A and B are shown apart, each in its own frame.
Chain A
């Protein structure tokens, strides 16, 4: 019998519609896989079997009804994992933090409502860096997540749990958020597809906020078509998020070419830019070769690739690490121990604030609150925050200029390196921040960016990033689907994560134990 967890989401759709499988069977197979693999991977903070099976049964009823399935969204009956900062009514929503321990969401996020409306099955909530601040998932208050390609390495972050859930076949699809690379970088490090849509594409109502001018929600999947289908399900205007735009969501997202020949033919005549500044100092030379080979493959399929410049790239890191912490320090002021979450000091309100926030937040979150508070404080506001917002204008203009010159998309690495060992960057925050050097300028400019697998370097996945103008997700998916088609016969393409077999062995150490053992070396 086929292992149902190995199917792609669109293959699940086909089998559900043909009556060959039920959503209950699919859901059970994934819940079993998630439960079996969670000891060694720690990708999940909650696995909600009971609720998932209720949703699966409801999907099966819709699939069996005479009118039900024909007009239904392809995700009807298909399992999905949500990052643990998406509100699901009545369920926990920790954002990876102790300060939200015990909090139960009193309402559904917009995207949760959308997923329910299409009939997707929510399996549970995934691990993440606390408040989405991190590039390795080591900043979760609930322990690190291991990468199934090498259990001593990180999966990237902050959406590390969502990425691993998909890479390790616990779910065909998952939702993450991306403020500076938190979808694309873990997608690259775990060998899957992840897209950060245009700012304003997906409503953030019911999502725990980190940096509100940068945060976007997006999908993870094991192929391009699946990622497009999940974006289609959750995107679109919602009046409860005033930044969600009324830009139409094209139904063509559900009809990307199935045929490899057709998909690859779509690359002919496309004009792509290769920004030279993205081959940053410290970029791993073998990862760089994978990007160069990918560029050669795109050219071989009839695309033109020109070297271009985004001259302010080098200022991105400093700009981001002013703007994002400043917004975070304001957003995180609401965690005060008064209205929800644990209250750790009771004698007076100031002591309560100091104790609750001092003990409830982890080290990276405190670091960023401190940075942001400082950058916004009297006497420094103009020098830091206003200056950074002006440089942000320059960064955005770099991209605008290229797209005005007619480039369809830019091609770049997603991450300067493949997955690194636990602990490798924990002692030096700036080294950790550099993991996002190739992704965070895209957030600064509000643009869509996708990471797709483009090969292996010393056995570890490498991601190729495509960046497009605002609202060009469909074009990015088409280009990505073309690249996927070009490489469909590559040896690495069908390869499962190297240490996947170990993840179901209960005798294996947990990720926290592995990290601790490595730290003692």
Chain B
């Protein structure tokens, strides 16, 4: 499998919403490729007929009674918010001129 190029790394960083410096992008390119080399080992195994494991204990859906229980008070939640007003969390603008909408 070909390694990650610099623009691949930039693309993944964008998908992950990580703002990385040029130095970080350069370092990560080398490190990620080194780690991805380890992954190639898995290709040795024929897994065509093997079912994937997402979790290891045999749990079935567990239903509970649909009873109303108290939620956390709004003021307790807002205390952790970087910006709040009128009982709401204030978010930075989603649409702005600079980001082009």
Contacts and interface: CB of A to CB of B under 8 A. Distances in A.
A440 interface: no
Given A243-B59, A349-B94, A366 B28 contact: yes
Main secondary structure of the interface of A (DSSP, over half): helix
Interface residues of A, number: 74
B55 A358 contact: no
Interface string B58-92: 01001010000000100011011111000001011
12 contacts: A106-B77, A213-B55, A322-B39, A322-B42, A345-B92, A354-B17, A367-B28, A387-B42, A394-B50, A446-B57, A447-B56, A470-B56
B52 interface: yes
Interface string A354-388: 11011101010011011101100100000110111
A349 B72 CA distance: 26
A179 to B, nearest CB: 13
Contacts of B55: 199, 213, 243, 446
Contact of B89 (A338, A363, A384): A338
Nearest to A373: B16
Interface string A423-456: 0000011100000000000001111000000000
Given A340-B81, A374-B32, A390-B47, 7 more contacts: A106-B77, A198-B57, A245-B59, A338-B81, A342-B82, A363-B24, A447-B56
Contacts, number: 179
Nearest to B96: A348
B50 to A, nearest CB: 4
A343 interface: yes
A343 B84 CA distance: 12
Interface in A307-358: 312, 314-315, 317-319, 321-322, 329, 333, 336-343, 345-355, 357-358
A437 B79 CA distance: 42
Contacts of A371: 32, 35
A508 interface: no
Contacts of B82: 337-338, 340-343
Contacts of B62: 239, 242
A243 B54 CA distance: 12
Contacts of B83: 343
B34 interface: yes
Interface of B: 1, 4, 9, 12-13, 15-21, 24, 28, 31-32, 34-35, 38-39, 41-43, 45, 47, 50-57, 59, 62, 64, 72, 76-77, 79-83, 89, 91-96, 98-99
Main secondary structure of the interface of B (DSSP, over half): loop
Given A106-B76, A340-B81, A348-B99, A430 B92 contact: no
Nearest to B21: A358
A444 B54 CA distance: 10
Contacts of A392: 52-53
A236 to B, nearest CB: 14
B47 A349 contact: no
In the complex, the 5 A-B pairs of residues with the closest C-beta atoms, listed nearest first: A446-B56, A354-B19, A358-B19, A389-B52, A343-B82
Contact of B17 (A314, A357, A377, A447): A357
A6 B52 CA distance: 48
A391 interface: yes
Contacts of B79: 104, 106
A393 B51 contact: yes
Contacts of B18: 354, 357-358, 361, 366, 369-370
